[in-house]
Amino acid sequence: MTPFASASLRGLAVGAVCLTLLVAALLFGAAIGETRIPLETVARTVASHLRGGVHGIDPIDAGIVWNYRLSRAVVAAACGAALAVSGVVLQSLLRNPLADPYLLGISAGASYGAVSVAILGLGGGFLSLSVGALGGALLAFGFVVVLAFLSGRGPTAIILAGIAGSQLFNALTSFVVTKSATADEARGIMFWLLGNLSGVRWPDAWLAVPVALFGLTVCLLHSRALDAFAFGTHAAAALGIAVRRVQVVMIGTTALMTAVMVSLVGSIGFVGLVIPHAARLIVGVRHGILLPTAALVGAVFLIGADVLSRTIIAGQVLPIGVMTALFGAPAFALILVHRPAQTGGGR
């Protein structure tokens, strides 16, 4: 067998293992909760839903599994994957290990959009929180893009513009909340801002999954181009990359993915920052393998974080962002400590 045939066989095997892992995580996500439902029931519920018509299963269990937990796990997986992939792409493109999907003002803009709808009553009750958040996210992203464009378009300009945009929209959010919100409203908004999968149902999954898959595919198609950015934009251009076009497509794709996810579940922190580093430690820096790995790790991580957020305090659901940060921050610290030291050169 040639080395290339064996390499593609290995790729297939790894892909199969990953898919199995993801499915297992989804099933566990559906099984674990306040009432524990046997994995067998979960599997039978899913199987019968896929065939159409539910027979021989407790309808309440089936309802919890299908309508409540599984849809939630699927959205968590899509969000985790999308945020992790966005983090990888932005870190590579901007050559900054601290870049994350919210860098471009998306989370701040989404918060502002959400409070505009929820507290200021924008849209007169016809707009949902999610639509408001999506609008705010895109507005803030547009602001950041214009600012970055005016201030030189380099990686540093983009990062600084992102910081300026985020600060501005965060200030607007705080302004609205402190000026107009009741204590209850403020608490509700806070909960939403930290990430919240409670209201999530299948229609959300039908949006989140295609967006995540689309984003991952577009990024994968650019994986060689992303590799070529390792030595900077000049070197990438010298290797035949249409630098400007790749930057626009990649930043646009990650912004869209992130904005949709944030509008569905709020701004869940740390996934987009930590998972890319963890994935790099596992498989290295080549994007052809790094992107799918990050997507998988992000998906499984967020399913797990959601389960924890539902179960860690009996009778209470914590914001999922609290869980990701509680586990993400120490994990990030560990990665930093154990990362082999870089000698000379570099940043």
Partner 1 sequence: MSRLVAKGLTRRAGGRAIVDGVSLELVEGEFLALVGPNGSGKSTLISMLAGLKRPHAGDVRLGGARLDKTPRRDVARAIAVVEQQAETGERLTAREVVALGRTPHLGALSPWGEEDEAAVEAALAAVDMLRFADRDWHSLSGGERQRLHIARALAQEPGIVILDEPTNHLDIEHQLAILALVKARRMTVLAALHDLNHAALFADRIAVMDQGRLVALGRPGEVLTPERIATTFKVAAMIETAADGGCHIRFMPLPHGSQPPSRLPERHDKPRVINLLHGRV
In angstroms, give the least distance from the CB of 54 to partner 1: 41
Cα 218 from Cα 228, distance rounded (Å): 16
Which residue matches tokens 């505009």? 116
Longest Cα pair distance anywhere in the chain, in angstroms?
70
Our measurement of the distance from residue 38's CA atom to the centroid of its chain's CA atoms, rounded to an integer in Å, reads 29
Of 191 and 214, nearer to partner 1 (C-beta) is: 214
Cα 199 from Cα 235, distance rounded (Å): 47
Long-range contacts of 173-177 (CB under 8 A, 24+ apart): 173/108, 173/111, 173/112, 173/115, 176/112, 176/115, 176/116, 176/119, 176/120, 177/115, 177/119
In angstroms, give the least distance from the CB of 148 to partner 1: 20
Cα 236 from Cα 217, distance rounded (Å): 21
Of 203 and 344, nearer to partner 1 (C-beta) is: 344
Cβ count near 71 (within 10 Å):
21
Tell me which residues touch partner 1 (CB under 8 A).
2-4, 8, 92, 95, 97, 221-225, 227-228, 230-232, 234-235, 237-243, 280, 284-286, 340, 342-347
**CA distances in angstroms from 199 to 61, 186, 195, 204, listed in the order given:** 19, 18, 11, 9
In angstroms, give the least distance from the CB of 260 to partner 1: 24
In angstroms, give the least distance from the CB of 292 to partner 1: 15
Strand ranges in the chain using DSSP code E only, listed in sequence order: none
**Which residues touch 256 (CB under 8 Å, ≥6 apart)?**
211, 215
Cα 271 from Cα 107, distance rounded (Å): 13
Of 174 and 217, nearer to partner 1 (C-beta) is: 217
In angstroms, give the least distance from the CB of 95 to partner 1: 6
Of 207 and 289, nearer to partner 1 (C-beta) is: 289
Helix/strand/coil for 303: helix
Of 228 and 268, nearer to partner 1 (C-beta) is: 228
In angstroms, give the least distance from the CB of 290 to partner 1: 10
Of 97 and 142, nearer to partner 1 (C-beta) is: 97
The single-letter DSSP state of residue 152 is T
In angstroms, give the least distance from the CB of 251 to partner 1: 18
In angstroms, give the least distance from the CB of 278 to partner 1: 14
Of 206 and 231, nearer to partner 1 (C-beta) is: 231
Cα 230 from Cα 94, distance rounded (Å): 10
Of 316 and 343, nearer to partner 1 (C-beta) is: 343
